[in-house]
Each structure stands twice: as C-alpha cells, then as structure tokens.
A and B are shown apart, each in its own frame.
Chain A
Amino acid sequence: RDFNERCAQCSEVNWGLTDGGGFYCKSCHNVTERTREVVNTDFVANSRVQTISKGLKKQEKNDGSCEWYICEGFQLVLKKQVEALEALGVCPQMKDEILCNFWRCYLQKTKQAYCKRPAGETVKALSVCESSTDVDSDPERPSLLHLLSLSESEGDLQTDCSFASSLSKVSESTSVYSGSVDGSLYLMKSQKEKLRMTMPMTLSFCYMALLWMREPITLSELLRFVVEGHIPYFNVFQHFPEKMKLCGLDLKIFCVESWPVYEEVFNKMHELAAFLDLPRFPDITESCFLHPDMLCMKYLMEANLPDELHNWTCRVVKKIGIGEVDFLTLTPGNKSTRKVKYDVLAAAVIVVVLKLLFLLDDHYEWLLSEFAEERNKNNTEVCTFYSGSPYFEFKKWYEVVKHSLDVEQKKLDEEKAKYLWRCEKPLFYSVKNKSKVLKRRQMVVNLQNQFGKLSDSVQRAEKPNPSSFQLSWSEENTDGSCFHGHSLKGILQEKCGFLRAMNPDYWLCTVKLCNEKLCGHLAHYREVEFPQSYHFVLGLFSFLLRIQPSYIHDEVCMIEHKLFNKKLYTKLKYNTVLRK
C-alpha cells in the first residue's frame, strides 16, 4: 500500500502482497523482487500484512539496513522468549495460538497495527525537515533530553547529554535519533498511556500466556529463569537480524540493565489482561499446578519439611476457601477480587501451618524439638524397626536448612556481584561514536581475557540447566538431612478421631489489615519485631521465590485474617496471643 513505484510491466500502481511477502502487481500479476522488509515471523503467517504503514517512503538504505518499527522489535523479542519457553517444555500451542493472539490484540488496541488508521501521523513532525538545518529550531520537536528521560531504562546522564549535544549539530533525518523509524515517537507517547510496550512488559505477556495455558511455571520461576539466562531478556536484541540496526533511542527501549521485579511484572500483567478485554481465564482447578495444594507440595519438598504437613496445608486451604475455582481463576477487569499470587500464596499457607503447629514464638518450637529429640533417642531401634520414620525435630531441620540456605545465599550474592550485563554486540548511540564504541569493546574483551586467565582455574561452567528446584534433599542420604519422611507424631494429638495440634496458641501477625490500595501493603513487616523463627521461615521462602519477605508476610496476614475471622470479631475462646 505504501509502495508507490509503477509496475515495470503495466505501469500501474496497484500492488498486493504475496504469501511470501513479495509485491505483485494486481493488474498484470507481475511479481517483483522487492519484498516487504518486515520482520515476518511465524506469528503472522496468514494475516495480511498491512501492519505498520505510516506514510513514509520505504527505503532500503545503502548500508544494508532496513526500516523497522519498535513494535516489530518487541514482536521479535516475544518470539524469542516463547521459543525459549518451548525449549523448557511449555506446550507449543502457547506460541502459535495464545501469545500471538494476545500480541495481535494488543497491537490492535493500541492502534499500532491491524486497524484502519494507525497512530502514526505525528511521526511527520520528526521527519526530515528540508529547510531547517538546526534540529532544535522546530518548536514542536520535543527536546531530545526530554525523550531520553521518558524512557524507563537506566541511563547515564552524561552519555545522554553528550549524545544530545552531538545531535544538535546534525541536520540529518530522524534516523539519527534511532535505528528504528519510530523510536523517538515511541518514547514520546503520553504517560497516560500506561501500556506502552516495555521490556518488562514482555514478561507480563509471557506470564499471561503461561497462566492462560495453566503451565507449571510460576511467576517467580519465570523471573528466575530470566535472571539465570534461560529466557531471552537482557541483550535479546543481539538476535535481531542484521538489517535491523539498533542505535540511539532504541537502546533506551530495548536495553535492560536491571532485573525484572515481580510486583511490576505481575501488576502490568493484570492491567494488560483488562486492557485487552480478555474473558475469564481457563479455570484453575485442584489438578492444576498452580493450585495451592500442588504448589504447597512442591514447596514443602523444597523446604525439606515433612510430607505430613501437606495434610495441614490442604486443610487450611479448604477452610478459608482459597482452593476454590472462582478464587483462583483470573477474571480480568474484576476489581473486587484480590489478584492471586499463586506462589506467594502457597508459601504463606505453609508459614501459617508452621505457626499453627509450632507456634514459632522462639520458645515453643524448641521445646517441641527437645521432646522429639528425646523420643528419637529412646526409640532408635524400635523406631526404625516398626514405623521407620523418626520424629520431626525442628532444631535439626533448622540447622540443616539454615546451613544450605546460607551456602546458596552466599552463592547467589556472588552471582549478583559477577553478573554480566553486556553482550558481544556493541551498542552505539549514534553512527558518530561507532568507532569509539568498537574500540572500547575491543579493550574490554582483551582485558576480560587477560584477567580471565588469571582467575581461579575452575572456570565458570556453562550455565546450569534450568531447574525447578533450587534446594534438593535426598532421602537416600544417610546423614539424616532429609526430613520429608519424618513424622509429626510428637506434635499432634488425637481427639475424637481428629488429629489436632498440641499447640493451643496462635499469634497473629497483625490485628488489623491495612488498606493495600493506600499504602501498598496489607501489613508492615519491617516495623514490627517478630520472633526469629518467623523471620527465618519468611527468609527461606523469600529466597526460594526471590521476592521480599514483606510480600509473603502480607499473604500470611491475609490468610490469618480469613482463618481467624470469627475469632477476631467474637469473644476469644482460646488463649490467642495477639501481637500488634
């Protein structure tokens, strides 16, 4: 449609696109060699590629680069990400049917493509202005610094300033601003439009698709895979085709120099789901991985806790109704229901169960542990002969898990210090500083080689295979470091055919829940002194899920309030110790 050349054969201007993306003359069916330089992926195999016409003349530049739009870039990113997920075992349907439909819907809704009038008119304001030689003279033209500041990615002010100042002397076309056609326009989009596409948002898309497909990957796992390098995110632009030159403002959009944040990705996902007017997501039932019963089982294993605790988590889940389909399934746009963080919720359930059984007030759990230790000592022979499972000793568990946790945490801290953000593909702000950048990169590589050789002989191995479990415990270990099979006998008592906890008390994390919308949290973890055991347990799950303990604390508070709802509002029957 934007191809205005006359047909070589019949001199008409009446072009259409073949399936292969080439132009053919509708009048005489002459097929040209000119092809639409769109990043045509498997995604959009059958659709008509009107996509992103903005009224600019399409030119293939001399240096082998092509014109490309920002959303094409993001499309590529999503493609790479979903392919990586596929490699991790996710169902291929997700790519072909789910994600690409979400993406198409997004493009449509944001009027970037698949619609009649794409939002591209304002691009003209930034295009070549023949008479003016001074880029700053046009009052409508936004200041470059302003554009740079609009981007969320981190920048060094100095580089930005030098980039901006170097441009003010140039009178070339907007391609100097960015390798893409609409880089500057993209950053200019008003802040009202919160759903301007960003790199973190690609993860929101992925998560949304995963949730729709009910794949067994939680958000915390997804983000961990990203950080471990199994899912393209940092430096994903190095997989862009050669023709798509990245420079200038594109860097602000596609270069990421910070780890994705759970809350951010999570909230964006929900905004997106509502924005796209998606219907109710497929049901999350008891057989789903994301159901608290399933996730609790996984986390109990990973936390090296006895399998018997699973009965208790299921009981709690059932009692407060968080296993119900309607509670768990996402209905976009429904503002009244609390958005469910499946992983955090499951972890919080386990924490509550531990509090129920062990109290975790820095006294009782150790007492129980001593009893268990005594019984284990006395029963050594009898125990192994008959039931085979020793009494669960909190103290032993604490020591074993703390040790492993400390080791892993230390490893993680070192990983963070050694984290590499750059890739081999060098980035230039402008063609002008290209040689400088290349020289720098060469020096960096040389120095890395020189000092790499002097490093510890155990070189960094290839990144380990992605694993669902960060901590693993084997029952085959004879040192007794695996607690899965241990028994809760010592802390339970039978009453009327029911097993009850021996512990009669419970302390609430908070008496009153805050208004999440006002202060962002349900409760305030940092401001209160909680027992050390509680801190430890939160810390353990905080490490496993890679999120702040305060988020888990919030869910714990929420669960407690649901659980003790009646008791909070009626007279307290039991000796519940309340803490503010």
Chain B
Amino acid sequence: SSNEHKLNFKKSKETCLSYIQDALLQKQWKRAAEFLTCYIESLEKDYSREHIGPSEMIWRIGTEILWHHSQSSIKEFNCFMEQMKTLGVKRYLKVCLEHVFHLLCNGQIDEAYQNLSLAESWRFGEQTAIQDKEMKLIQAYRGLLDYCSWSKQKNILLEHGEDGFSDLAVEQEMHSYFRKAAVNLKEIIKIPGVWDIFVKCYVDLLEFYGDHNEAHQVLNEYAYNSKFPANPNAHVYLYQFLKRQGESKKSLISALKILHDIVPSHELMIDFNTMLQKSKKRKKRRLGLEVIFSALDYAGWKENAKAWSCLARQMKQIVISEKHLDWIKQEWNSRKDWWPAFHFSRYLAKRNWQENKSLSYEKALVAGILLGKDCKYFKYISHQGCKAQLKRFRMLKKFVNRHSPVYLRISG
C-alpha cells in the first residue's frame, strides 16, 4: 500500500511483477519492457524456494514482449531464446519446444526443424532422463515436420506421375521421410494423451502405404484405451477411417456410439441417425430417435434443416406405421415443458418462414405431431404455406389433420 514506506528487494520485485502483469494485460509492450528491465537483476538472487523463479518469469514475460513488440525482430527473439536456454538447465527442452512453436507460427519451418534436431541431440546427465517427456514431444514434432516433408514429396510425385515422369530421387526421399516420421509418431501416441494431429498424420502415412491393419489398431487404441483421456476426435477419426475403408454399417454405428455419449451435439449425429433409422434392428431405430432428439436439444442445431428433416422423416414413419408411438412419447416427456418455447414459438414461426421455407416445413411437421394441429407453430406455417399455394404444405396439413389423434395419445 502506498502508506508503507519501507521497501526491500523482495517487495520491490513483487511490485515490479504486478506492474509488468498490468502492462501485459493491456498490451503495453513498451511499458512492460521498461519494468522487466528493472526486474532482471533478480536473476542474481537465489529463489529456489519459490514456486516460479525469476529465470522462468523472465523467460515467459520476455517471450511475450518480444513476440508482440513492434520494434522487436525475429532475430532478437531467437537470440533471447538462446539465452533463456542457457539459464535453466531443468527447463532446457521446454524452452526449446516453445521456441519451436514460435518459429512455426512465424512460418520458419526449416529453422524449427533445425532447432528440434539440435534439441534431440541434447544430453545432460540425469536431466536427460528427467526431461524424458519433453524429449518425446520434441521427437514427435520432428516426426510431424518429417511428415510435412513427406507430404510435400508425395504431392510432387503425384504431379510428376501425371506427367508420366517417375522421379526416383523424389520417391526415395519420400520414403526416407516416411520412415523418420513413422518412428517418432508411433512412439508418442503410445503415451496416454491427446495427440490428434500426430494420430491423423500417422494414420495418413499408414494408409498410403497400405498398412490398414496397423492404422485400424492405432485408431482403436486411441479411441478405446481407457488410459487415454476421453476425446471425441478419436472417435471421429476412427469413424472416418472405417468409412474410407468401406466397413459395414454395423461397425460404423458402433464407432459413433461413444461419440453420441460424450458429444450429443456433434455434427456427425446426422449421419448417425440416418444410419440408425434405416437399421432393421428395433433397438437401433430407437437409438436413432434418441440421437436426433438429443442433438436438437442444442441451440446450435435450431436452424439445421437437415436435422429437422431427419427427425421429421423418422417421426412420419412411426406415425404412419402406428408402431412405437411410445418411443415418441418417451422422448417427448422430458421435452414437452421447454421445447415449445425453444423451437415452436410464434416468433420463431414467423422467422423460420421468412428465412427458410424447408426448415419451417420440417419443423411444422414435427410440431404438428407433437403439439397437435392447433399449436401456434403449425397453424402459422401451414396457413402461410397454403396461402402461398405450395403443394407440400397442403399435403402437410392434410397429413397432420389425418393423424391428429396421435397427438392425443402422445400428450396424454
């Protein structure tokens, strides 16, 4: 507080840090640099009991400032990072890795690669073992860059292939990149973690070389191994892979099951519902209904005409067959209190009609079945549609009127 007239080293540096923090938050890079300059002498004091010491502070703060400051060049940035690497041996690989990220953001792929290779060859007594995780990451990223190079070579090859040339050198280079990339990528994805990009690239490589079994195994592991954190993308990748491989609907469906559980609003839910609807198994069709209802619980889906058409189709089918009306009843039970205001208000009716006639058509069908022909949404839309003399709306009106007793059975 301003009334404290005492001051010591520690207190003044703490205060200094809070000024730096303020400046950073307000993107005042010059001011932050000014205060950082004063903070730097902390390096000469030992803070080993503190959680974060001055060398780490300076590294992180300095990086931010140099990255954003208008007068700072990439050369200065690199020079600074090199200094930071020498400052804390316990942090060496972490600093290397972050440096690489910055280089990549700046588009300097080659420099990034060089740094990764350098870092990979680093050895420092017992530190090497302690920083094993960082080392794996470094190798993984180098593998990633190798993949990028492989990809480039592959494209060159394909181009040449079109021209009729076969370039042996390019091919060999491509294969060598493949080997380098594969070895590192394979290693990192063994460790539980979120490795989306590594997995994707590795699978891409495997598929190209025809090792579909391995690819399948990798994706299975990634999606189903409980040691790995729950990751929706894992399931998405697996599904996409299986689709590419032309696998059966059964396996495709099973691949999407867990995705539905963890992300009911995922865009693939449409595909999922479409497959489930068509299934011969009753359980699957039931699940399909649940899936599409769950998806439409989310605000982001409100105006998704495709989703509504899926729901409409399935509901129409059920109503016509007069079988399994209880399914609709079950789904509607937990929704009847809030879906009307959420989806079927008069305001929404007007807006939907104005913006997207197909959307309003599908929704009206659903509304008509769930809420009856007298609900505001259906009434408005069907009236508008008939007024506009659109055939399908007349059909819609007839359909709902014909099946109006269904509403009574659902709502009762």
Assess the A454–B71 pair: CB atoms within 8 A: yes
Give the interface residue-count category, chain B: 35 or more
B25 to chain A, nearest CB (A): 16
A159 within 8 Å of B by Cβ? yes
A417 within 8 Å of B by Cβ? yes
Q: How far is the CA of A416 from the CA of B3 in the complex (A)?
A: 12
**What residues of B have a CB within 8 angstroms of the CB of A422 in the complex?**
41, 44
Q: A440-B43, A444-B43 are in contact. Are A455 and B62 (CB under 8 A)?
A: no
Q: A413-B2, A454-B71, A548-B3 are in contact. Are A448 and B46 (CB under 8 A)?
A: no
Assess the A454–B2 pair: CB atoms within 8 A: no
Q: A257-B8, A261-B6 are in contact. Are A419 and B38 (CB under 8 A)?
A: yes
Assess the A259–B29 pair: CB atoms within 8 A: no
Q: A158-B46, A420-B41 are in contact. Are A454 and B15 (CB under 8 A)?
A: no
Assess the A447–B35 pair: CB atoms within 8 A: no
Q: Write the chain A residue with the least CB distance to B16.
A: A417
Q: Which of B18, B44, B62 has the most CB of A within 10 A?
A: B44
Assess the B62–A447 pair: CB atoms within 8 A: yes
Assess the A451–B65 pair: CB atoms within 8 A: yes
A409 within 8 Å of B by Cβ? yes
A243 within 8 Å of B by Cβ? no
B40 within 8 Å of A by Cβ? yes
**What residues of B have a CB within 8 angstroms of the CB of A162 in the complex?**
46
Q: Which of B30, B37, B87 has the most CB of A within 10 A?
A: B37
Flag B1-43 by CB within 8 Å of A: 1 or 0 each.
0111111111010011011000000000111011111101101
**What residues of A have a CB within 8 angstroms of the CB of B33 in the complex?**
451-452, 454-455
Q: How far is the CA of A258 from the CA of B9 in the complex (A)?
A: 6
A516 within 8 Å of B by Cβ? no
A12 within 8 Å of B by Cβ? no
Q: A417-B16, A418-B16 are in contact. Are A154 and B9 (CB under 8 A)?
A: yes
**What residues of A have a CB within 8 angstroms of the CB of B2 in the complex?**
409, 412-413, 543
Q: How far is the CA of A451 from the CA of B65 in the complex (A)?
A: 9
**What residues of A have a CB within 8 angstroms of the CB of B31 in the complex?**
455-456
Flag B52-88 by CB within 8 Å of A: 1 or 0 each.
0000001000100110010110001001100100110
Q: A440-B43, A451-B33, A451-B62 are in contact. Are A417 and B9 (CB under 8 A)?
A: no
**What residues of A have a CB within 8 angstroms of the CB of B65 in the complex?**
451, 454
Q: Write the chain A residue with the least CB distance to B28.
A: A456
Q: How far is the CA of A154 from the CA of B9 in the complex (A)?
A: 9
A157 within 8 Å of B by Cβ? yes
Q: Write the chain A residue with the least CB distance to B2.
A: A409
Q: Which of A436-491 contact B (CB under 8 A)?
A: 437, 440-441, 443-444, 446-448, 450-457
A63 within 8 Å of B by Cβ? no
A544 to chain B, nearest CB (A): 11
Q: Write the chain B residue with the least CB distance to A419.
A: B12
Q: How far is the CA of A162 from the CA of B7 in the complex (A)?
A: 27
B250 within 8 Å of A by Cβ? no
Q: A417-B38, A421-B12, A455-B34 are in contact. Are A259 and B76 (CB under 8 A)?
A: no
Q: Which of B9, B62, B83 has the most CB of A within 10 A?
A: B9
A274 within 8 Å of B by Cβ? no
Chain A interface, DSSP helix/strand/loop, else mixed: helix
B78 to chain A, nearest CB (A): 12
**What residues of B have a CB within 8 angstroms of the CB of A447 in the complex?**
37, 40, 43, 58, 62, 80, 83
B209 to chain A, nearest CB (A): 48
Flag A23-38 by CB within 8 Å of B: 1 or 0 each.
0000000000000000
Q: Which of B99-148 contact A (CB under 8 A)?
A: none
Assess the A421–B87 pair: CB atoms within 8 A: no
**Neighbour of A451 across the interface among B6, B7, B19, B37, CB < 8 A:** B37
Assess the B44–A444 pair: CB atoms within 8 A: yes
Assess the A456–B34 pair: CB atoms within 8 A: yes
Flag B278-310 by CB within 8 Å of A: 1 or 0 each.
000000000000000000000000000000000
Q: How far is the CA of A418 from the CA of B2 in the complex (A)?
A: 15
Q: How far is the CA of A439 from the CA of B299 in the complex (A)?
A: 60
B45 within 8 Å of A by Cβ? yes
Q: How far is the CA of A416 from the CA of B17 in the complex (A)?
A: 12
Assess the A548–B48 pair: CB atoms within 8 A: no
Flag B142-185 by CB within 8 Å of A: 1 or 0 each.
00000000000000000000000000000000000000000000
Q: A440-B43, A451-B37, A451-B40 are in contact. Are A259 and B6 (CB under 8 A)?
A: yes
Q: Which of A392-447 contact B (CB under 8 A)?
A: 409, 412-414, 416-422, 426, 437, 440-441, 443-444, 446-447
A547 within 8 Å of B by Cβ? yes
B47 within 8 Å of A by Cβ? yes
Chain B interface, DSSP helix/strand/loop, else mixed: helix
**What residues of B have a CB within 8 angstroms of the CB of A454 in the complex?**
29-30, 33, 65-66, 69, 71-72
B37 to chain A, nearest CB (A): 5
Q: Which of B48, B65, B79 has the most CB of A within 10 A?
A: B48
Q: How far is the CA of A227 from the CA of B12 in the complex (A)?
A: 13
Q: Write the chain B residue with the least CB distance to A449.
A: B37
Assess the A417–B35 pair: CB atoms within 8 A: yes
Q: Write the chain A residue with the least CB distance to B47.
A: A156
A200 within 8 Å of B by Cβ? no
A546 within 8 Å of B by Cβ? yes
Q: A419-B12, A421-B12, A455-B34 are in contact. Are A450 and B80 (CB under 8 A)?
A: yes
A162 to chain B, nearest CB (A): 8
Assess the B16–A547 pair: CB atoms within 8 A: no
Q: How far is the CA of A162 from the CA of B49 in the complex (A)?
A: 13
**Neighbour of A416 across the interface among B7, B49, B79, B83, CB < 8 A:** B7
Q: A417-B19, A454-B33 are in contact. Are A444 and B40 (CB under 8 A)?
A: yes
**Neighbour of A421 across the interface among B4, B19, B41, B83, CB < 8 A:** B41
**What residues of A have a CB within 8 angstroms of the CB of B29 in the complex?**
454
Assess the B83–A420 pair: CB atoms within 8 A: no
Assess the A455–B15 pair: CB atoms within 8 A: no
Q: Which of B5, B15, B62 has the most CB of A within 10 A?
A: B5
Q: Write the chain A residue with the least CB distance to B38.
A: A418
**Neighbour of B7 across the interface among A258, A440, A455, A549, CB < 8 A:** A258
A542 within 8 Å of B by Cβ? yes
**Neighbour of B38 across the interface among A409, A420, A456, CB < 8 A:** A420
Assess the A159–B46 pair: CB atoms within 8 A: yes
**Neighbour of B15 across the interface among A413, A421, A448, A547, CB < 8 A:** A413
Assess the B34–A154 pair: CB atoms within 8 A: no
Q: How far is the CA of A549 from the CA of B5 in the complex (A)?
A: 10
Q: How far is the CA of A127 from the CA of B19 in the complex (A)?
A: 49
**What residues of A have a CB within 8 angstroms of the CB of B49 in the complex?**
156-158
A255 to chain B, nearest CB (A): 10
A183 within 8 Å of B by Cβ? no
Q: Write the chain B residue with the least CB distance to A454.
A: B33
Q: A413-B2, A548-B3 are in contact. Are A451 and B36 (CB under 8 A)?
A: yes
**Neighbour of B83 across the interface among A413, A441, A443, A452, CB < 8 A:** A443
Assess the B72–A448 pair: CB atoms within 8 A: no
Assess the B62–A258 pair: CB atoms within 8 A: no
B19 to chain A, nearest CB (A): 5
A422 to chain B, nearest CB (A): 5
Q: How far is the CA of A440 from the CA of B58 in the complex (A)?
A: 14
Flag B353-397 by CB within 8 Å of A: 1 or 0 each.
000000000000000000000000000000000000000000000
Q: How far is the CA of A443 from the CA of B86 in the complex (A)?
A: 10
Q: How far is the CA of A457 from the CA of B46 in the complex (A)?
A: 32
**What residues of A have a CB within 8 angstroms of the CB of B43 in the complex?**
440, 443-444, 447
Given contacts A450-B76, A539-B3, 11 further A-B contacts (CB under 8 A): A159-B45, A258-B9, A259-B8, A443-B43, A443-B83, A444-B41, A450-B79, A453-B71, A454-B29, A454-B66, A454-B72
19 interchain pairs, CB-CB under 8 A = A154-B8, A156-B48, A158-B46, A262-B5, A413-B15, A417-B16, A417-B18, A417-B35, A417-B38, A419-B12, A440-B44, A447-B40, A450-B76, A451-B37, A454-B66, A455-B33, A456-B31, A542-B3, A548-B3
B-side interface residues toward A, CB under 8 Å? Answer: 2-10, 12, 15-16, 18-19, 29-31, 33-38, 40-41, 43-49, 58, 62, 65-66, 69, 71-72, 76, 79-80, 83, 86-87
